[in-house]
Structure 1
Amino acid sequence: MTTDTLVMPSVTAPPHSHRLRQVLHDSGYALLSLPVGVLFFVVVVTGLAAGIGTVVIWVGLAVLALTLLAARGSATLERAQLPTVLGRPVPRPAYLPGEGGPVRRLLTPLRDPQSWLDALHAVLRLPLAVLAFSVTVTFWAIALGGITYGLWDWALPQEGNEDLFELLGFDGGTSLRIVGYTLIGLLAAAVLPFAVRAVAVLQAQLGRVLLTSRAATQAELGRLSRGRDAAVAAEAVALRRLERDIHDGPQQHLVRLGMDLSRAQRQLDRDPSAARTTLAGAGVLAREALEELRALSRGIAPPVLADRGLAAVLAALAARSPVPVELAVDLPGERLAPATENTAYFVVSEALANVAKHSGADVCRVEVGLVGDVLRVVVEDDGTGGAVLVPGHGLAGLADRLRAVDGVLTVDNPRGGPTRTVAELPWA
C-alpha cells in the first residue's frame, strides 16, 4: 500500500471575483459530507463487522466484497468533488478487473488494495466530516444571524432574558445589542471563507491521500513502463537499421574484397600485371568499407562524445555535414548526464542525415542550450520539407528514444518547408 503525507496547502481564500463561488463550493462540500459520511460509515463498519464475523462459513467473503463495492461508491462520490475543492484534477485509480467465473468476479474487490483504501476512507472521513459540518454551520449561522439581527430583534422576548452584552455587564439597550451582534456577524462573515476553506481542504486532503495517491503511483509506473517499451523499440529499430546498413554496405564490400584477393592470388603466377590491378581495386574496396564502418560507428556513439562531450561531437557532426551547418551551442561547463548527451547527439545526427537526404536545403541551423531544467535541441533547415514521423523510420525511432528519457520530439514541417525539429529532454 502506498503511503502519503497529509500536506495542508494554503487555506488563503481565492481572489475576490471567485471568493463567493469557492465559499459556496466548500460549504456545500462540508454540509453534504456529513450525511454521506454517516451513511457510508454505517454501511462499511456494519458490513466489515458482519463479514469478518461470518467469514468462517464463507458467507462473510461475499459480505466483505459487497461492503468494499459500497465503499467504492463512497470513494467515487468523493473523487468527483475533490477537483472543485483542491482546484486541480485528481487521478483516478484503476481497479482490478473482474475475471474468471461468477464467484471469482464477486471476490475481486477483496484482492484489490484500492478497495480496502476506499473502505478505510469511509471510516476515517466521519470525524473530519463532523468537524467540517460543525464549523460551516456555526460560521454561517453567526454571520447570517448577526448581520440580519436588526431585522428580527423585535421578535425576541425581552423579559426574563439576558443577552450576551448584559451578561458581560454592558447596559446599552436595544441599540448596543443590535450594533454589537451586527459587528459579530460581520466579523464571522470575514472569517468564514478562511474557516470553511480550512476544514474543506483538510477533509479533501484525506480523500486525496487515500483515494488518489495509488492512482498517481499507477500513472508513474505506466509512464515508466511506456518509457521502457519506447527504449526497447528504439533500440530494436536502431539495430535493424544497423544490420541493414552493414549488410548493404561494408558486408558487400568485404565479400567482394575477399573475392578480389582470391583472384589476385591466382593471378600472381600467370599474370602479375593483372594481379596488381586486382590488388589496387581491393585496396579501394578496403578503404570504402573502412569509411562506411566509420560512418556506421558514428550512428552508434562516437568516442569523442565520451572523451570531450556534447559540444565537441556536435562540432564534428556539423563539419562532416554535406549541408552547411550554423551551430550555436550554449552549455554549462560541467558535463551533462551520459543518457542526455547520447540522446542529444542522436537527435542532431539523425536530423542532419534527414536534411542531407531529403530536404534539398542550402543551410541548416542547429541550436543546443538549456532552458530551465530542460535541454532544448533545435534543428532547422531552409529546404522543402519531407520530415515525417513514420513508424519504423528514423524520426519515429528518435521519438521513442526521447520518450525513454522523459523527452519530447516535435517536428514542424509546413508545406514547402522549412522543417523545424525540436527535442526537449531533462538534462540532469
Structure 2
Amino acid sequence: MTREAPVVLWFRRDLRLGDHAALLEASKHSKHVLALYVLDEALLKPGGAPREAFMYGCLEKLNEQLGGRLMLVRGDPAAEVVKAAKKIGAAAVHVSADTGPYGRRRDASVAKALAEHNIDWVETGSSYAVTPGSVTKPDGEPYRVFTPFFRAWTARGWHSPADTGPSLVDWVEPPKSLKIPKPPKVSATLPEPGEQAALTVWHDFLDGPIETYDADRDRPDREGTTRLSPYLRWGNIHPRTILADLSGDERVGAKSLRSEICWREFHADVLWHRPETARKNYDKRFDGMKHDDDSEAFSRWCEGRTGYPMVDAGMRQLLAEGWMHNRVRMVVASFLVKDLHLPWWLGARHFMKHLVDGDLASNQLNWQWVAGCGTDAAPYFRIFNPTTQGEKFDPNGDYVRKYVPELRSVAGKAVHKLKERPGEYPEPMVDHAHERQVSLERYGKITS
C-alpha cells in the first residue's frame, strides 16, 4: 500500500476526531482519507427516537469538524462500504473494532466483500480502553466475576490517547453523499451532542463533582454523576481519554470512577464471550423462572404510574430526558422483575427504546444483574425496597418532586411514604412485602 492511494475511515461508535486510534493508523497508510458513515437499518430499527435524534446531532457535529466532508450512505454495509471504497480507488478501509454480536457478524461480512476487490480491512482499537476478549484468567478462560476482572484489567493497562485531530489528514471530498436526516421530534430534552460537548462535560466534572463522586453518584437528587454515558455510547469521547486524565489521581472519587468505567468494560467482555446473553439468561437455571403476563402492569411501569414515588420519578425522568440516574435504574428494574414478576427483557427493551445512552452490553447485563440471572454469584435475594431506597438516596424528596408534579405539595422525605395521595397520584399497584415473598419463593424453586 502506498501513501498516495486513498483509504476509507468508516465511523461507527467513534464519532470524534480526537484520541482516535483508527484515524491515526489510517494516517500512516495514506494522507488522503474518506470519512464514511453508513445508516444501517439493522441498527436504526431497534433504537428509539431519542437515540436516533442524538446520533444525527453527533453526525452533524462530526461533519462540521470535517469541513462538510462526511460521506453518508444508507443500506447494507457489505454493499455500501465496498461501493464507497471503489469510487475513490481506496486501498483499505479502517475501523475501530465493533465487539458487539451484530457488529462482529457485519464486519466479517464487509471484510469478506472488500477482500473480493483486493481492498484491505484494518481494525485498530475499539470503543473500550481494553478491547473485550483481551483480559482472561491465566488459563485463558474469561472472568465471570467483576472484582478479579477489575484487578486483571487494571494490571494489563491501556494505551495512551492517540494524538489525532481534524488536521491530521487531507479529507477526501465525498463523490456523493446523503444529507444528514433531520432528527425525529422527541419530547425528551437531550444533551448537547458531539465531541466538544463531551469534552466540556468531562472537564466540568473534573473541576468539581469528582471530589464527591464516590458518595454523590448514588444520589439522584444531586448532580453527582459524570453524565458521560451518552458520549461514551457514541464514542464522542474515548474511555482512554478519561483514564489518562485520571492517571495518578488517588482521590476516592477518581478510584470510584475508574471502577465504574471497568464495569462498562466488564459487561462488554461478558457479551464478547457470551453473545447470546444479549437476549438470553446468563445463568441457564433462570430459563425455568416463572414470570407473569400482565400488559396493564407493564404499561403502568412504563408510564411511571406505579404508586411508588421513587419508581415513578425514575420512569418519568427516562421519558423527559432520555436518561435515568443509575441508582434509580436499579430500583425500577428490581420493581419490574421482583415486584411485578415480569421478565427482564421487557424492561431492557423499553430502556433501549428511550435511552440516549442505550448500549447493548451495559443495558442487557445490568438488567440481568438486577434480575438475578447475570454474573453475580448469589443475587436472587437482592430485592430493592422502593420506599427505603427513596428515603436513603433521595432523603429530602427533591428528586421525586422534580419528576412527579402531583407530589410537589408533599414536603421532605414524607414524599416517599405517603399518608395521603394528592390529586390523581395512584395507590401502590402492589404490596412490596408480599411480592418480595413471592419472588423469593420463585427463586427458591430454581436455585435449590
Normalising to structure 2: TM-score of the pair? 0.17
Q: Which has the higher contact order (CA 8 A, sep 6+)?
A: 2
The higher radius of gyration belongs to 1
Normalising to structure 1: TM-score of the pair? 0.18
Please state which structure has a larger fraction of its residues in helix. Answer: 1
